[in-house]
Amino acid sequence: MAVFCKTSRIWRARLAATGAGVTVVMLACAPAWAAGGAAVPAGRAAAATPVPAVAPPVPETVEVNGIRRAFTHVAAQHLPDADTRVTAERLIERGVVDLRGLEYVAPNLTIQSINGTASTNFYLRGLGFNDFTQNNMGPVVTYVDDVAFPYSTMASGLMFDMADVTVTPGPVGTEHGQSTTGGEVKLRTNDPTDTFHYGASQDIAAYARSRSTAYISGPIADGLSFRLAGQVNQGGGWQTDPLNGAHLGDANSWALRAKLKWTPDSRTTVMLSGHVVRDESQVVGGIPISRLIGSAPIPSVGWTQTEWSAKEAFTKLIGRQNGLKPSEDNWFWGADLHIAHDFGPVTLTAVSAFETEREGEYTDQDATAAAQADAYRTIAANNFTQELRLANSRAGDRLQWVVGAYYQRSRMSQNFYFDYTDYRPARGYMQVSSFGLNQEATSQFGHVSYRLPRHVTLFVGLLHEVDDRGLTGLTSRIYGGRTLDFHGESTAAAQFAGQAGVSWQATRNVLLYYKMSKGFKPGGFTANNTQVQGQLAPFMPETVLTYELGLKSDPIANVLRINAAAFYNDFHNQQILGTILLPDYGPLSQLTNVPKSESWGFEGTIDLHPVRHLFITQNIGWQRGIFQNFPTVNRAKTNAYYARTGVWKAINDNFAGVDNGQPKLTLNGQLDWRQAVSHDYAVEFGPNWVYRGAQAMTPGGTGFYRLPPYFLLGAHVTLRPASDRWQVTVYASNIMNRHYYTSGGQATTTYLYIPGAPRFIGGRISCGF
Convert the pLDDT of each residue in 197-208 to its tens digit.
999 999 999 999
How many residues would you count in the chain?
769
* Mean pLDDT value of segment 245-260: 97
Give, as one character, the DSSP assignment of residue 186. Answer: E
Question: Domain tally for the chain?
Answer: 2
Same domain, residue pair 417 and 269: yes
Task: Give yes or no for residue 700 having a pLDDT over 70.
Answer: yes
Name the β-bridge partners of 338: 271, 351
User: Beta 183-189 vs 140-144: how paired, if at all?
Assistant: parallel
Same domain, residue pair 51 and 199: no
3-state secondary structure of 641: helix
The model's pLDDT over 301-311, given as tens digits with 9 standing for 90+, comes to: 998 999 998 99
* Mean pLDDT value of segment 703-717: 95
Nearest to residue 394, comparing CAs of 349, 344, 350?
344
Task: Give yes or no for residue 152 having a pLDDT over 70.
Answer: yes
Instruction: Find the radius of gyration of the CA atoms of the chain.
Output: 27
Decide if 108 is inside a domain: no
Confidence of residue 653 (pLDDT cuts 50, 70, 90): confident
Decide if 250 is inside a domain: yes
Phi/psi at 312 (5° precision): -60, -40
Decide if 113 is inside a domain: no
Name the β-bridge partners of 259: 227, 273
Decide if 87 is inside a domain: no
Same domain, residue pair 191 and 62: no
Task: Give yes or no for residue 63 having a pLDDT over 80.
Answer: no
Q: What is the pLDDT of residue 115?
A: 86
Q: Examine the fold and report which residue of 42, 69, 96 is the final residue of a domain before the chain moves on.
A: 69
**Distance (Å, whole) CA 317 – CA 432:** 10
Nearest to residue 745, comparing CAs of 700, 707, 703?
707
Task: Give yes or no for residue 6 having a pLDDT over 50.
Answer: no
The model's pLDDT over 488-539, given as tens digits with 9 standing for 90+, comes to: 999 999 999 999 999 999 999 999 999 999 999 999 998 877 778 878 889 9
Q: What is the pLDDT of residue 57?
A: 38
The model's pLDDT over 356-383, given as tens digits with 9 standing for 90+, comes to: 999 999 999 999 999 999 999 999 999 9
For the chain, how far is it from start to end, CA to CA, in angstroms? 27
| HEC per residue, 35-52 | CCCCCCCCCCCCCCCCCC
Task: Give yes or no for residue 60 having a pLDDT over 80.
Answer: no
**Distance (Å, whole) CA 141 – CA 355:** 15
Q: Examine the fold and report which residue of 29, 49, 69 is the final residue of a domain before the chain moves on.
A: 69
**Distance (Å, whole) CA 51 – CA 459:** 26
The model's pLDDT over 442-498, given as tens digits with 9 standing for 90+, comes to: 999 999 999 999 999 999 999 999 999 999 999 999 999 999 999 999 999 999 999
**Distance (Å, whole) CA 606 – CA 619:** 7
Task: Give yes or no for residue 129 having a pLDDT over 90.
Answer: no
Same domain, residue pair 329 and 455: yes
What percentage of the chain has pLDDT greater than the value 70? 91
**Distance (Å, whole) CA 32 – CA 565:** 37
Strand ranges (DSSP E) for 74-182?
84-87, 109-113, 120-124, 127-128, 140-144, 147-149, 162-169
* Mean pLDDT value of segment 312-329: 95
The pTM assigned to this predicted structure is: 0.88
Decide if 96 is inside a domain: no
Same domain, residue pair 195 and 50: no
Decide if 174 is inside a domain: no
Confidence of residue 19 (pLDDT cuts 50, 70, 90): very low
Name the β-bridge partners of 268: 265, 341
Decide if 762 is inside a domain: yes
State the chain's mean pLDDT as an integer: 88
Confidence of residue 170 (pLDDT cuts 50, 70, 90): very high
Contact 142, 576 (CB under 8 A): no
Q: What is the pLDDT of residue 589?
A: 77
Same domain, residue pair 588 and 731: yes
Q: What is the CATH number of the domain that holds 265?
A: 2.40.170.20
Q: Examine the fold and report which residue of 46, 69, 92 is the final residue of a domain before the chain moves on.
A: 69
**Distance (Å, whole) CA 259 – CA 261:** 7
**Distance (Å, whole) CA 465 – CA 180:** 11
Decide if 139 is inside a domain: no
The model's pLDDT over 614-628, given as tens digits with 9 standing for 90+, comes to: 999 999 999 999 999
Q: What is the pLDDT of residue 527?
A: 81
3-state secondary structure of 642: helix
Count of CB atoms situated within 10 Å of the CB of 1: 8
Q: What is the pLDDT of residue 69?
A: 63
Same domain, residue pair 596 and 731: yes
CA dihedral 572, 575, 581, 585 (to 10 degrees): 160
* Region at 228 (left for phi over 0; alpha for psi -120 to 50; beta for the rest): beta
Same domain, residue pair 62 and 196: no
| Residue-range definition of the domain harbouring residue 648 | 187-768
Same domain, residue pair 524 and 655: yes
